[in-house]
Amino acid sequence: MTERVVLAYSGGLDTSVAIPYLAEETGAEVIAVAVDVGQGGEDLDAIRQRALDCGAVESEVVDARDEFAAGYCLPAIRANALYMDRYPLVSALSRPLIVKHLVAAARRHGGTIVSHGCTGKGNDQVRFEVGLGALAPDLRIVAPARDFAWTRDKAIAFAGEKGLPIDVSAKSPYSVDQNLWGRAVETGFLEDIWNAPIEDLYSYTCDPAQERDADEVVITFDAGVPVAIDGETVTPYQAIRELNRRAGAQGVGRLDMVEDRLVGIKSREVYEAPGAIALITAHQELEAVTVERDLARFKRGVDQRWGELVYDGLWFSPLKRALDAFIDDAQRHVTGEVRLTLHGGRATVTGRRSEASLYDFGMATYDTGDTFDQSLAKGFVRLWGLPSEMAAARDARLGGC
């Protein structure tokens, strides 16, 4: 019986080239699986047909948009997930979901091999293969772009020789990955980190320098989940889509950064994530109002580690699962509304309110109505500083040793 390879198919250069290559090198039948995580921009039926035109024996498209929003983007909001304090995990969040559906497709179609189009320089090879190892260690993995050491110019030439129906050419060699959570652009002239991005790179956002009226939006959260926008009930998918539209129209969410890849090299990436940045900004502010100080301090470290684990391809790890439980408990009181002004490329918080707020006007005000007992402060300050005061006296007595 002929072996079957289940290929994670995007419709782009690397995975289109992979179809005839896998068939030639392994002798196996190739089944292309495209997972719709809200990437938009192209008819997924056309992607399905392209895979068949490239030589796949079967091709399927999985509509996972709501699943991606609720099961992957939403946890990232609750974790305020920003890798290196900037990147909202655009590609990293989609990979474990794609892995899940690749395994399901392999079981349905009798596949024994799973394949992806990742190179040996990137993070995605780790995300795919570590995820597959966790969910289906019996499946063999083949990575033609990495194992055959493809360069993009070779891949473009190979695609031309095979007559593959893809849009990438030597004149437009960008690598683009996009989904509901954002858009990532790399390679080409961007590899010279002195070169500034050009406006043609962007698709999810408008030029923030263009003059336009500001947009004010109120986001309602319930236990850390965005449930309404301007009073209208929304699902996580609808919330992200709407804020992609509105924040994107104001140029919010553009990032140009050199990041630390898991494999040890630095990479220049240009990102657009308008909805992600707007939602995380609002969520962080509501946490500032509703989460107790020590819990909030500890959660900031948890958030950072959560983002690193997801970036590093460890979505299915025991530590990630344990941190999810902590974050879930920490979100119990993150309920209320945050008002943002979207303008000039920024999402600025201008108001916040919550029935679970820990902000007490009487305790905070310096005007009439102040309920804070200032007589307690003098003793508190002395006791708080006492250990440092005693250590300083000791150091002075011993001559600074």
Q: Which pair of tokens denotes residue 354?
A: 């919550």
Region 57-79: mean pLDDT is 97
Q: Is 80 left (phi over 0), alpha (psi -120 to 50) or beta?
A: left
**Is residue 201 classed as helix, strand or coil in its secondary structure?**
helix
Residue 108 is a catalytic residue: no
Q: pLDDT category, 10, cuts 50, 70, 90?
A: confident
Nearest to 182 by CA among 273, 308, 248, 270: 273
341-373 residue pLDDT tens: 999 999 999 999 999 999 999 999 899 888 999
pLDDT level of residue 31 (50, 70, 90 thresholds): very high
- The domains located in the chain, with CATH, are 4-175 (3.40.50.620), 179-353 (3.90.1260.10), 361-395 (1.20.5.470)
Q: Is 246 known to be catalytic?
A: no
Lowest-confidence pick of 25-29, 87-91, 378-382:
25-29
Contact 286, 221 (CB under 8 A): yes
Is residue 12 annotated as involved in ligand binding? yes
Instruction: Give the CA angle between residues 141, 146, 151 to the nearest 5°.
Output: 155
- Active-site annotation holder among 4, 124, 177, 254: 124
Residue closest to 212 by CA, chosen among 249, 255, 246 = 249
Residue 94 known to be catalytic? no
- Tell me the whole-structure pTM to 2 decimals: 0.93
Give the whole-number percent of the chain exceeding pLDDT 90.
78
Instruction: Answer yes or no: is 253 a known binding residue.
Output: no
Q: State the pLDDT at residue 319.
A: 98
The answer to which of 12-16, 59-63, 264-268 has the lowest mean pLDDT is 12-16
pLDDT for residue 40: 80
Q: Quote the pLDDT of residue 162.
A: 79
Q: Which of 59, 94, 115, 175 does the annotation list as catalytic?
A: 175
Catalytically annotated residue among 48, 95, 246, 268: 95
Which pLDDT value is given to residue 299?
A: 98
Q: Is 271 labelled as part of a ligand binding site?
A: yes
Any known ligand binding at 10?
Answer: yes
For the residues 192-221, what does the mean pLDDT come to?
96
Position 381 scores a pLDDT of 96
Q: Confidence band (pLDDT; 50, 70, 90) for 285?
A: very high
Q: Is 354 annotated as a binding residue?
A: no
**Nearest-angstrom CA–CA distance, 187 and 361:** 52
Residues 6+ apart with CB under 8 A from 190: 174, 197, 201, 268, 270
Residue 165's pLDDT band (cuts 50, 70, 90): confident
19 pLDDT exceeds 80? yes
Number of H helices, E strands in the chain: 14, 14
Give pLDDT tens digits for 108-143.
999 999 999 888 888 999 999 999 999 999 999 999
Active site residue 85: no
Q: Please give the backbone phi and psi of residue 328, each rounded to the nearest 5 degrees, phi first.
A: -60, -45
Residues near 399 by beta carbon (within 8 Å), at least 6 away in sequence:
none
- In this model, does residue 169 exceed pLDDT 60? no
pLDDT band of residue 170 (cuts 50, 70, 90) is low
